[in-house]
Every structure is written in structure tokens, then in C-alpha cells.
Structure 1
């Protein structure tokens, strides 16, 4: 994915996040993640060096309390924020667009995984139809062959379930399972069931 912030934008946004009141570094990280709907979470190695530079520039102050440091705007920080209010408005609009783009990309990744699994099922069904020889086996041999194929099919279904569940959990963590995504999952599963039923007739 493309970088979230252009040069200097994260610095400005940290000032904006501190405007309502003092915050710990972890709170700033959490607020940024929430603002991006979970599609972006800056690391401590990204946030704390910038806070240190803001402190060196006299734009924020740091208060150490036990193991936590609290950051707050100074008068100079508020003045810079006021001077760059228009730039901050543009930045907020850009963030909203970035959130939408990232959500669409995650949702497309989930759909791509679903299409890939569906293609695997269809390929297995075609293979089963191509290799089936009516009347070739009978009695006990036929039951053994059928049982072996059932075990293989059960393994495929388990893998399908586990991979789709992992994709869905990742999408849920990013907050991108909406009504449209759920409907795509439902349609794909219905189609996979239809393909399987046709193969088993």
C-alpha cells in the first residue's frame, strides 16, 4: 500500500490529536489506528521519535509519570496548529479517502481469496468427474474407494473453512466486512455448494 502520510503530515496530525488535551504515546497510536479504521497502525518507532522532535521544537511538553510519558501542546504548538488549520482540513479529507481506498483493497483481497477457493473446488469436481469410471468397482472395493474419497473431500472442506475463516477474521480486524462483503461471501458459498452437488450427482 502507498504511504499514509506525506512528509510532515504525521507531525501536524500529532499536534491535532493533542489539541483536545494531553495524551500518552500509546493513546496517540490507538487514536490513529481508530481514525484509519484499523487499516493503519503506526509503530512506536514511528510515533515516539516525532514526539521527541516536537518537544525539541518547543511545540509539545512531556511529563513523565511512573513508566508513562504524557504529551501536551504548548502555546507555540497551538499557534502552529492555528496557522495550519486549512492544511489540517485538507489532510483530514485525504485521510478519509485513504481509509476508503484501504478498505476496498482489503475487501478485494478477501474476495480474491474466495474466488481462488471456489476455483480449487471446481477443479477438484472436474477431476472427480473425469476420473470416475461407472461400474468399475463393486461391493467392498467400491465402499473402500468411496470412503477414501470422502476422507479426502473432508480434508478439502476443512482447509476451505479454515482459510476462509482466517480471511474473514483479518477483514473483521480491519473493519471491512460490510453488507456487500457479506453478500459476496454468501453468493460464493452458495455457488460452491451448487458445484459440489452437481459433481456428486
Structure 2
């Protein structure tokens, strides 16, 4: 039914069985080399924004995949670790293709039961806008010029969304 909180055990236990994330991570890395934060965002999108694996789960799993020889790590932009699939990782995925297919089918069913939700980047942007407005309006005093500027920015955003 629900996913519990963002990340955390409650959500993860219902969405993923033990070890499922390893298969999904390898599948995502097979698509293209990725950084850890890109994997987190991709999982969020696959589950429709209802679950976000925590860094405390993601990075130890990525380390395990590296230690197993399924991924290779290189230093990418800003010194971040870029994960690439190895031949061993590709063979492991191929041997366990049925497991990956079952995981993806389960995720599709969960998403269908939940119904449609906005994509994760849209939810993030909406929350960002709400927070910016809250922080800006918190003081309670705006000049007429500031109020007009905020209203204009919101109107422009609304127009851009309508035309998207």
C-alpha cells in the first residue's frame, strides 16, 4: 500500500526484498556509468518518487558490488566515485536475469497500485518552491516592489508550466 517514509526501513522493506537493490544498481550501471547520487535519483524515479534509498544503504551496497568485482570505480567529477559495470557484473546480471525481471515486475505492480504520482524531479521542484516562499514570507513584511516581484515570478512560472 504505502511506502512509509522517504528512505528508512519501513519503506524499503515493503518495496524491496533483501538484496534487490544490488540487482537494480547493477542494471542502472549497465545502462551507463553512474555516481551514487544518480543511482538514488534513478531509483526514486522508478518507484514514482514514493521511496528514496538512503545514502546509508546505497553506498555500502555500492562498496559491496565493487568488492564482489561486479563494478569498477574511477574518480569522476569533483573526486566523486563513478561506478562502471565489469564483465563479472554483466555475467552476474545475465545469470540472474529472472531475478531482475521479477523485481521490475513487482515495482511496476506497486506503481500501478499507488496510482500516478508526479515524477520525482517535479515533486522536488514543487517542494523547493514552497520552501522558498515560506522562507521569504516568514518575516511578514514585504515592500510593494518585493510583493510585485514575487507575484511576477510566480505568474511566469505558471505560464511556463502551462506551455510545457
TM-score interval (norm. to shorter): 0.5 to 0.7
Q: Deviations over 1:110-132 (max 9, x none)?
A: xxxxxxxxxxxxxxxxxxxxxxx
Deviations 1:1-58 (A, max 9, x none): 4521101111111111111120011111111111111111111111111000000110
Query: What is the aligned partner in structure 2 of residue 71 from structure 1?
Result: 83
Offset of residue 62 of structure 1: 0.8
Aligned match for 1:37, one of 48, 56, 59: 48
Shift of 1:101: 3.1
Unpaired segments of 5 or more residues in structure 2? 4-12, 125-164
Separation in structure 2 between the aligned mates of residue 75 and residue 101 of structure 1, nearest angstrom:
36
When normalised by structure 2's length, the TM-score is 0.60
Partner of 2:131: none
1:95 maps to what in 2?
107
1:94 Cα deviation (Å)? 0.2
* Aligned counterpart, 1:191: none
| Aligned residues of 1:39 and 1:103 also touching (Cα < 8 A) | no
> CA-to-partner distance for each residue in 1:45-92, whole Å, 9 max, x for gaps?
111110000001101011123331100111000000011111111111
For 1:10 and 1:102, locate their aligned partners in 2 and report how far apart those are by CA, in whole Å. 20
- Looking at structure 1, the residues matched to 94 and 35 of structure 2 have their Cα atoms a distance apart, in angstroms, of 22
- Please show how residues 109-148 of structure 1 align to structure 2 within 5 Å: none
What secondary structure does 1:62 align onto? Answer: strand
Aligned residues between the structures? 108
CA distance in 1, matches of 2:47, 2:20: 15
Matched position secondary structure for 1:72: strand
Partners in 1 of 2:27 and 2:113 — Cα distance? 23
Could you tell me the TM-score, scaled by structure 1's length? 0.50
Which of residues 26, 38, 43 in structure 2 aligns to 1:27?
A: 38
Question: What is the root-mean-square deviation in Å for CA atoms of aligned residues?
Answer: 2.0
Q: Structure 1 residue 102: deviation in Å? A: 3.6
